[in-house]
Amino acid sequence: MSGKRYYVEDKNKLKAILYISGIVLFITAIALVFVLSLYQNKLDADKQIAAQKMNSMETEIIESTTSSTDKGINEINTTENTSSEKKVENLVENEVKSVDTEENKSDKKSEGDKAKEEKKELSFEVPLEGEIYRDYSDTNLIYSETLEEWTTHYGVDIKAEKGSAVASSEDGKVKSIKDDPRYGLTVTIDHGQGFETVYSNLLSAEFIKQGDSVKKGQTIGTVGSSGAFEIVDEPHLHFEMLLDSQNVNPTTYWK
């Protein structure tokens, strides 16, 4: 019985110790939580004070910077405006001078080109080597075997084999290429200064096109028999020359 009694007492002592230990731990935990709460509140207060100081400093810096910047910008704008106005004035003045200079150059160039064109001496050459078997005649009548009558002849007929090359009599620009109902395939070249040459009764003119610039001696077509006005005649080139839209005798202008 004595041993059982000691066992119960020990058990009760252990329970008492555990109970007291639990109370102590609980009180310690509460105290620790309280201390931590006080510390956290102090930290939050310090942060708020620091934030207020930073905001105050930033405000002062921004106001100071804005004031200085506004002053600097105003000074810069004033300088830039003055400089820009001067630049614009200089640009306008330079553009006006440039336009005047270009116009003067253009006028001088145009006058020079006109003078050069007027001074250029045209020297016409025979467009085809061959026998002239029908001359130019604007007054004396010439018998036409095709028409079977006597008539004027405003060109020169040069006999040659069919397909022979026909050359431009002088430098010029192709005015037209057309199939004339009387003269057949016809090429007209403008040489400037009122002169034009006409090449008719051609077989072909595929070497050139309207608007082309041609040189003296450049092939512009071939001899044929396409002209109904002279269809009975042998293959030949019917060549005419005009000055200020009036027919003239080509032989008087050939070298």
Who has greater pLDDT, 65 or 127? 127
User: For 118-141, how does the pLDDT look when each residue is reduced to its tens digit (9 = 90+)?
Assistant: 567 899 999 999 999 899 998 888
Name the burial class of residue 205, with classes exposed (0-12), middle (13-18) and buried (19+) by CB atoms within 10 angstroms of its CB: buried
Give dist(CA 74, CA 66) in Å, integer: 12
User: What are the distances in angstroms from CA 45 to CA 41, 58, 124, 189?
Assistant: 6, 20, 112, 104
Average pLDDT, the chain: 79
Who has greater pLDDT, 157 or 68? 157
Who has greater pLDDT, 184 or 18? 184
Give dist(CA 146, CA 233) in Å, integer: 7
Tell me the mean pLDDT in the region 13-24. 78
Confidence of residue 202 (pLDDT cuts 50, 70, 90): very high
Asked if residue 36 has pLDDT above 60, the reply is yes
Who has greater pLDDT, 192 or 41? 192
69-73, 76-80, 81-85, range with greatest mean pLDDT = 81-85
6-10, 64-68, 76-80, 211-215: least confident range: 76-80
Q: Which residue has the tokens 């040659």?
A: 160
CB 164 within 8 A of CB 245: no
Asked if residue 101 has pLDDT above 60, the reply is no
Who has greater pLDDT, 175 or 151? 175
Give dist(CA 207, CA 224) in Å, integer: 15
User: For 135-154, how does the pLDDT look when each residue is reduced to its tens digit (9 = 90+)?
Assistant: 999 888 888 887 778 888 99
Confidence of residue 225 (pLDDT cuts 50, 70, 90): very high
Name the burial class of residue 109, with classes exposed (0-12), middle (13-18) and buried (19+) by CB atoms within 10 angstroms of its CB: exposed
Who has greater pLDDT, 76 or 170? 170
The percent of residues in the chain predicted with pLDDT above 90, rounded, is 42
Confidence of residue 246 (pLDDT cuts 50, 70, 90): very high
Q: What is the pLDDT of residue 73?
A: 46
